[in-house]
Chain A
Amino acid sequence: MAGPGAGEQAMEDERSFSDICGGRLALHRRYYSPYCLEFCLSCPRISLRSLTAVTCTVWLAAYGLFTLCENSMILSAAIFITLLGLLGYLHFVKIDHETLLIIDSLGIQMTSSYASGKESTTFIEMGKVKDVIINEAIYMQKVIYYLCILLKDPVEPHGISQVVPIFQADIMKFRQIKNCLLSSCFPHFTGWAVGLVRDHSQQSPVRPELAPLQAHTCAVQLPRVVGERARLHMDAAPLIRLLHSP
Chain B
Amino acid sequence: MVLKAFFPTCCTSADSGLLVGRWVPEQSSAVVLAVVHFPFIPVQVKELLAQVQQASQVSVAVLGTWCHRRQETEESLGHFLEGLGALFSHEPWLQLCRERGSKSWSCKATRRQGPAPLAPVCEDQVMLVFYDQRKVLLSRLHPPAALPERQAGDATASAGGLAAVFDTVARSEVLFQSDRFDEGPVRLTHWQSEGVEASILVELAKRAAGPICLLLACLLSLISAASACRVLRPWPLSFIWSKLSTCEQLRHRLDQLTLVVSTHRAGGPTQLMRKANTLVSVLLDMALGLLLLSWLHRKDRFAQLAEALVPVADRVAEELQHLLQWLMGAPAGLKMNRALDQVLGRFFLYHIHLWISYIHLMSPFIEHILWHLGLSACLGLTVALSILSDIVSLLTFHIYCFYVYGARLYCLKIHGLSSLWRLFRGKKWNVLRQRVDSCSYDLDQLFIGTLLFTILIFLLPTTALYYLVFTLLRLLVVTVQGLVHLLVDLINSLPLYSLGLRLCRPYRLAAGVKFRVLEREAGRPLRLLMQINPLPFGHVVRIYRLPSCGCHPKHSWGSLCRKLFFGELIYPWRQRGDKQD
Contact = CB atoms under 8 A, between A and B. Distances in A.
Interface of A: 6-10, 32-33, 35-36, 38, 101, 103-107, 109, 111, 121-123, 125-128, 154-155, 161, 246
B308 interface: no
A35 B2 contact: yes
B1 interface: yes
B520 A33 contact: yes
Category for how many chain B residues contact A? 20 to 34
Contact of B533 (A9, A123, A155, A246): A123
Contacts of A106: 4, 127, 129, 161, 515, 528
B522 interface: yes
B449 interface: no
A123 B531 CA distance: 11
A6 to B, nearest CB: 8
B145 A161 contact: yes
A49 B371 CA distance: 63
B125 interface: yes
B439 to A, nearest CB: 50
B474 to A, nearest CB: 36
Contacts of A122: 512
A101 B515 contact: yes
A246 B514 contact: no
Interface string B94-128: 00000000000000000000000000000001010
A101 B147 CA distance: 27
Nearest to A8: B522
Contacts of A246: 1
Interface in B400-435: none
Contacts of B148: 154-155
A38 B151 contact: no
A101 B160 contact: no
24 contacts: A7-B522, A32-B526, A33-B526, A35-B125, A101-B515, A101-B517, A103-B528, A104-B1, A105-B1, A105-B2, A105-B4, A105-B27, A105-B28, A106-B4, A106-B129, A109-B515, A121-B533, A125-B162, A126-B161, A127-B160, A154-B145, A154-B147, A154-B148, A161-B145
B392 interface: no
A38 B517 contact: yes
B330 interface: no
Nearest to B517: A32
B513 interface: yes
B236 interface: no
Contact of B161 (A8, A33, A107): A107
B160 to A, nearest CB: 5
Given A121-B533, A123-B515, A125-B160, 18 more contacts: A7-B523, A8-B522, A9-B520, A103-B127, A105-B2, A105-B4, A105-B28, A106-B4, A106-B127, A106-B129, A106-B161, A122-B512, A123-B512, A123-B513, A123-B514, A127-B161, A154-B151, A161-B145
Contacts of B161: 106-107, 125-127
7 tightest CB-CB pairs across the interface, nearest first? Answer: A121-B514, A105-B1, A33-B526, A125-B161, A123-B512, A105-B2, A127-B160
Nearest to B536: A120
A106 B160 CA distance: 11
A36 B147 contact: no
Interface string B488-524: 0000000000000000000000001111010010110
Contacts of B514: 109, 111, 121, 123
A8 B27 CA distance: 28
A4 B1 CA distance: 20
Contacts of B160: 125, 127-128
Contacts of B28: 105
Contact of B526 (A36, A123, A126): A36
A107 B522 CA distance: 23
B520 A104 contact: no
Contacts of A127: 27, 160-161
B127 A35 contact: yes
A122 B539 CA distance: 15
A36 B1 contact: no
Contacts of A6: 523
Interface string B309-326: 000000000000000000
Given A104-B2, A125-B162, A246-B1, A35 B526 contact: yes
A6 B513 CA distance: 27
A122 B515 CA distance: 10
Contacts of B127: 35-36, 103, 106
B77 to A, nearest CB: 27
A126 B523 CA distance: 26
B535 to A, nearest CB: 12
A28 B162 CA distance: 29
A122 B533 CA distance: 8
B530 to A, nearest CB: 9
Contacts of B2: 35, 104-105
B209 to A, nearest CB: 38
Contact of A10 (B1, B162, B515, B520): B520
Contacts of A32: 517, 520, 526
B46 to A, nearest CB: 31
Nearest to B161: A125
Given A105-B1, A123-B533, A154-B151, A36 B522 contact: no
A112 B161 CA distance: 24
A126 B160 CA distance: 10
A33 B527 CA distance: 10
A68 to B, nearest CB: 31
A197 B528 CA distance: 35
A155 B149 CA distance: 11
Contact of B517 (A36, A128, A154, A161): A36
A99 to B, nearest CB: 10
A7 B525 CA distance: 10
Contacts of A109: 514-515
Nearest to A244: B1
Nearest to A121: B514
B7 to A, nearest CB: 15
